[in-house]
Amino acid sequence: MSSTLGTIFRISTWGESHGPALGVVVDGCPSGLELSADEIQVDLDRRRPGQSSLTTPRNEADRVEILSGVFEGKTTGTPISLLVRNTDQRSHDYGDMEFLYRPGHADLAYDLKYGFRDHRGGGRSSARETAARVAAGAIARKILREKCGVEILAWVSQVGSVSAPARDSFPTREEIEASPVRCPDPAASARMAEEVERARSEQDSVGGVVEFAVLNPPAGLGEPVFDRVEAELAKAMLSIPASKGFEIGEGFRAAEMHGSEHNDRILHGPEGFSFATNHAGGTYGGISVGSPIFGRVAFKPTATIGREQQTVSRTGEPAVLKAKGRHDPCVALRAPAVVEAMAALVLADLWLRDRARR
């Protein structure tokens, strides 16, 4: 198991989807930062299921408590322990699962590795575990905003075969939040909602793509050669359940380009150095330069679907799985808050590691 992420700004998450609670310990947060449970709650709420009819109707409340590390409203520099109680579980929905391996899930993999697992829901492999990350990410995000003026955004740019049109500029938080699918283009949003409904009605699921942008990052983030900013982001994003791909800047499109086109021309003016374009995605040699850091994360379709699936039991007998309960037809819709949190966690850690040298 490795539930620890980060070198200086380090988090340790814990908790199963159907255990009593889940949480995270955040170590390395600078002292003196104002912090309240309410502000963390804002980020958590953006992740919650039940936000719209399009995601899982499990209504979990997800209220976060701060158990340490804050005194008189400010961080002390000591570890911050956050806890979120699981209020809405309905274990009996998962009764079947104990004996069957669910296709596309981690069940068999966990048994092969650990020989014993909590079969309820997804245990630790469930997407619910990401609530702890989002809570920790809220702290990281605040550090970056207050100390560096950074803003982090993520939005849905594709659901199934429906893609939002390319844009000239990054969207705003308002445009993203105005859409029930978190796609800043209204027309595409509507078609995406239909795509999700169609999947739900067919008792199926569909994948998607989330784009992210880090605006106004500090220059100098990234620790070559292995902890390049894009490498740390890649690891963070591919640690999100259901993720299957990561791109920085032009990503796979860069493979089709020529150097004369892909190279970002360097300029200089009264405010210093800048770039005419940003095909690179804000990183050169693994280090940020101040340009927006942007990319995309691909998500597979939810493994749990309503329709019948052929599978086997733990003892190898043929079986039919028909999942009851409540499931997201498209986990990508819920991913933006998690993608933002992961970006914040990575960049806060890299920022602190870079400060060690200044």
H or E segment to which residue 269 belongs: strand 266-269
* SS3 state of residue 46: coil
- Reference 53, options 203, 209, 207, 196; nearest CA is 196
- Of the ranges 27-35, 45-53, 138-146, 171-179, which one interacts with a second copy (CB under 8 A)? 27-35
Instruction: Confirm or reject binding of residue 317 to a second copy (CB under 8 A).
Output: yes
- Of the ranges 34-42, 146-154, 175-183, 347-355, which one interacts with a second copy (CB under 8 A)? 347-355
Size of the site for a second copy (CB under 8 A): 153
Instruction: Confirm or reject binding of residue 4 to a second copy (CB under 8 A).
Output: yes
Instruction: Confirm or reject binding of residue 219 to a second copy (CB under 8 A).
Output: yes
Instruction: Confirm or reject binding of residue 148 to a second copy (CB under 8 A).
Output: no
Nearer to a second copy, 87 or 172 (CB): 87
Instruction: Confirm or reject binding of residue 246 to a second copy (CB under 8 A).
Output: yes
Instruction: Confirm or reject binding of residue 186 to a second copy (CB under 8 A).
Output: no
Q: Residue 131 burial by CB count (10 A; 0-12/13-18/19+): exposed, middle or buried? A: buried
Contacts (CB under 8 A) with a second copy, residues 103-122 = 103-110, 112-118, 120, 122
* SS3 state of residue 218: coil
Classify residue 6 by its DSSP letter. Answer: -
Instruction: Confirm or reject binding of residue 64 to a second copy (CB under 8 A).
Output: no
Instruction: Confirm or reject binding of residue 19 to a second copy (CB under 8 A).
Output: yes
Instruction: Confirm or reject binding of residue 190 to a second copy (CB under 8 A).
Output: no
* Beta pairing class for 287-288 and 293-299: unpaired
**And the tokens for 170?**
């990054």
The residue within the footprint of a second copy, chosen from 137, 264, 340, 341 (CB under 8 A), is: 264
Instruction: Confirm or reject binding of residue 237 to a second copy (CB under 8 A).
Output: yes
The residue within the footprint of a second copy, chosen from 41, 45, 74, 215 (CB under 8 A), is: 74
Instruction: Confirm or reject binding of residue 5 to a second copy (CB under 8 A).
Output: yes
CB of 174 to a second copy, least distance (A): 25
Q: Say if residues 197 and 128 touch (Cβ distance below 8 Å).
A: no
* SS3 state of residue 265: coil
Q: Say if residues 28 and 352 touch (Cβ distance below 8 Å).
A: yes
Which strands form 21-27's sheet, in the order they lie side by side? 4-5, 10-15, 21-27, 80-85, 64-66
Block residue for tokens 């963070």: 236
Nearer to a second copy, 155 or 299 (CB): 299
Instruction: Confirm or reject binding of residue 301 to a second copy (CB under 8 A).
Output: yes
CB of 336 to a second copy, least distance (A): 14
Instruction: Confirm or reject binding of residue 249 to a second copy (CB under 8 A).
Output: yes
Burial call 238-276: b when 16+ CB within 10 Å, e when fewer: eebbbbeebbbbbeeeeeeeeeeebebeeeeeeeeeebe
Instruction: Confirm or reject binding of residue 288 to a second copy (CB under 8 A).
Output: yes
- Of the ranges 50-58, 67-75, 164-172, 173-181, which one interacts with a second copy (CB under 8 A)? 67-75
